[in-house]
């Protein structure tokens, strides 16, 4: 019986040993922690064993060790000493772009696009996959997967953002240059033109704009008028200051540089635009913030939350206009203003960046040319039933 019991105990011990998980190897030679039998990473400090996280996430354990023992703060991602994972690469890239937002080098909307792309990349390739092990076939598969739910133009924009991140990582010496292969490229211009043709025109007719304004509150109506009068887009109305609007109401001309290009803009206002801005000014929430447009709770409109887009979409649906966003107002302005046959004046109002040699020599676009462009749009929008902008 004892022999049987002894034999049984021996077999049991062997089975237990077989089922016991193997300790993982250190991620790199100088990794300061060791795998403890408890399933956690550990380190002996002053004769006492301290534990810092599970085997399956050594870098999280390292971050905990550095934070608690070495006093290294984890607010910013630190480039690891081992192979850079997809998640860590995304974090390093996003941190750099976030600093760009703080210094106004990167637009908030651009950062939001980068953030979404990084989330998709991390989910598709695997957050713990070493980024330098990604192959051209994997990049091609990512492109084809995105193409299942997006059109060619959207896929092209996604590829540009991914390559921007890889280029930044390579130039920052975080990774070697990766080969993304021949298939991971933007669709041809021919394909993009076909998509745009099939998608149709991205602008409103005059009746639709008037209908949307009729369903808008005073502040949204002011935003819409700035969009179709001056070619403003969401970010312009979100950030325009009280001082800029007060000066515009006083003079009848709005001077406000375009944030995306830092190109100066000057545009005459229609009488109805000035009148509506005055009404918005009287109803503006009292606040020390510099923004002209404030929400009811006193905070500015946020591009991250899409506040302007949401309010515009609600008014558009009430007006029974089936498609389009706030940015279509800028496209509608550009399309209609083209009939004035003064591209230079139109681009000056819209803040387009002209890199040609002639732009270096043209120092000013005269006001009468700007008035002509704006009045062409105004006559189209209101069927000549309103007083147009004037030089006074």
> In the block, which residue shows the tokens 């060790």?
65
- Are 190 and 273 contained in the same domain? no
The last residue of one of the domains, among 199, 225, 241, is 199
Is 47 within a domain? no
Phi, psi (deg, nearest 5) at residue 112: -60, -40
Q: Is 360's pLDDT higher than 50?
A: yes
pTM of the complete model beyond 0.85: no
Overall size of the chain counted in residues: 392
Strand-by-strand arrangement of the 34-35 sheet: 34-35, 40-45, 48-54
Residue 129's CATH number: 1.10.150
Q: In the chain, pLDDT over 90 holds for what percent of residues?
A: 53
Torsion of CA 268, 272, 277, 280, to 10 degrees: -170
For 184-211, what is each residue's pLDDT tens digit? 998 888 877 887 777 778 899 999 999 9
Asked if residue 182 and residue 213 are part of one domain, the reply reads no
Domain span at residue 187 reads: 86-199
What pLDDT sits at residue 310?
Answer: 93
Q: Are residues 276 and 312 in the same domain?
A: yes
User: In whole angstroms, how large is the CA radius of gyration of the chain?
Assistant: 30
52-80 tens-digit pLDDT: 888 888 877 877 776 766 554 444 444 45
Whether residue 92 has pLDDT greater than 50:
yes
Of the candidates 181, 199, 217, which is a domain's last residue?
Answer: 199
- Of the candidates 153, 175, 199, which is a domain's last residue? 199
Q: Say if 183 falls within a structural domain.
A: yes
Q: What is the average pLDDT value for the chain, to the nearest integer?
A: 84
Phi, psi of 130 (to 5 degrees): -60, 125
Structure tokens at 44: 């002996």
**Residue 160 and residue 215 share a domain:** no
How many domains is the chain built from? 2
Map tokens 């009468």 to a residue: 368
| pLDDT score, position 238 | 92
Q: pLDDT, tens digit, for every residue of 287-309?
A: 999 999 999 888 999 876 788 99
Nearest to 232 by CA among 292, 289, 279, 287: 292
Residue 363 has pLDDT above 70, yes or no: no
Does residue 139 sit in the same domain as residue 243? Answer: no
Task: Tell me, yes or no, whether 309 lies in a domain.
Answer: yes
Q: Is the pLDDT of residue 21 over 50?
A: yes
Residue 63 lies in a domain: no
Q: Are residues 172 and 222 in the same domain?
A: no
Q: What is the pLDDT of residue 77?
A: 46
Q: Report CA-CA distances (Å) from 55 to 38, 91, 296.
A: 9, 22, 50
Classify residue 71: in a domain, yes or no. Answer: no
Residues 295 and 373 in one domain: yes
Does 40 map to a domain? no
DSSP summary character for residue 131: G
Shared domain check, 220 and 180: no
- Shared domain for 239 and 327, answered yes or no, is yes
213 shares its domain with 279 = yes
Please check the confidence at residue 392 and state whether its pLDDT lies above 60.
no
């Amino acid at each position: 019986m004892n022999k049987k019991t002894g034999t049984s105990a021996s077999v049991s011990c062997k089975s237990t040993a077989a089922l016991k998980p193997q300790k993982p190897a250190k991620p790199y030679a100088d990794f300061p922690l060791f795998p403890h039998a408890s399933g956690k990473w550990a380190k002996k400090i002053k004769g006492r064993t301290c534990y810092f996280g599970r085997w399956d996430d050594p870098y999280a354990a390292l971050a905990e060790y550095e934070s608690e023992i070495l006093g290294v703060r984890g607010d910013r991602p630190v480039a690891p000493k081992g192979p850079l994972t997809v998640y860590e690469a995304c974090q390093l890239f996003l941190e750099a772009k976030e600093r760009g937002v703080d210094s106004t080098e990167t637009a908030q909307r651009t950062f939001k696009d980068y953030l979404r792309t990084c989330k998709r990349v991390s989910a598709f390739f695997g957050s713990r996959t070493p980024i330098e092990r990604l192959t051209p076939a994997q990049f091609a598969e990512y492109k084809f997967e995105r193409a299942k739910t997006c059109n060619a133009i959207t896929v092209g924009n996604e590829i540009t953002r991914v390559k921007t991140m890889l280029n930044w990582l390579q130039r920052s010496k975080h990774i070697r240059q990766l080969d993304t292969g021949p298939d991971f490229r933007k669709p041809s211009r021919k394909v993009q033109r076909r998509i745009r043709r099939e998608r149709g025109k991205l602008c409103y007719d005059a009746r639709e704009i008037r209908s949307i304004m009729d369903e808008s509150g005073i502040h949204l109506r002011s935003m819409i008028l700035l969009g179709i009068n001056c070619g403003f887009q969401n970010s312009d109305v979100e950030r325009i200051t009280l001082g800029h609007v007060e000066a515009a109401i006083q003079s009848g001309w709005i001077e406000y540089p375009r944030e995306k290009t830092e190109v100066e803009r000057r545009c005459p206002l229609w009488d109805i635009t000035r009148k509506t801005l005055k009404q918005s000014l009287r109803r503006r929430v009292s606040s020390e913030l510099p923004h002209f447009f404030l929400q009811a709770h006193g905070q500015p409109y946020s591009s991250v939350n899409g506040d302007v887009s949401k309010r515009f979409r609600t008014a558009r649906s009430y007006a029974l206009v089936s498609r389009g966003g706030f940015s279509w107002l800028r496209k509608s302005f550009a399309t209609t203003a083209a009939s004035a046959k003064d591209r230079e004046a139109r681009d000056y109002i819209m803040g387009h960046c002209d890199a040609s040699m002639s732009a270096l020599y043209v120092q000013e676009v005269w006001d009468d040319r700007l008035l002509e462009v704006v009045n062409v749009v105004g006559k189209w929008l209101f069927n000549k039933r309103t007083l147009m902008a004037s030089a006074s």
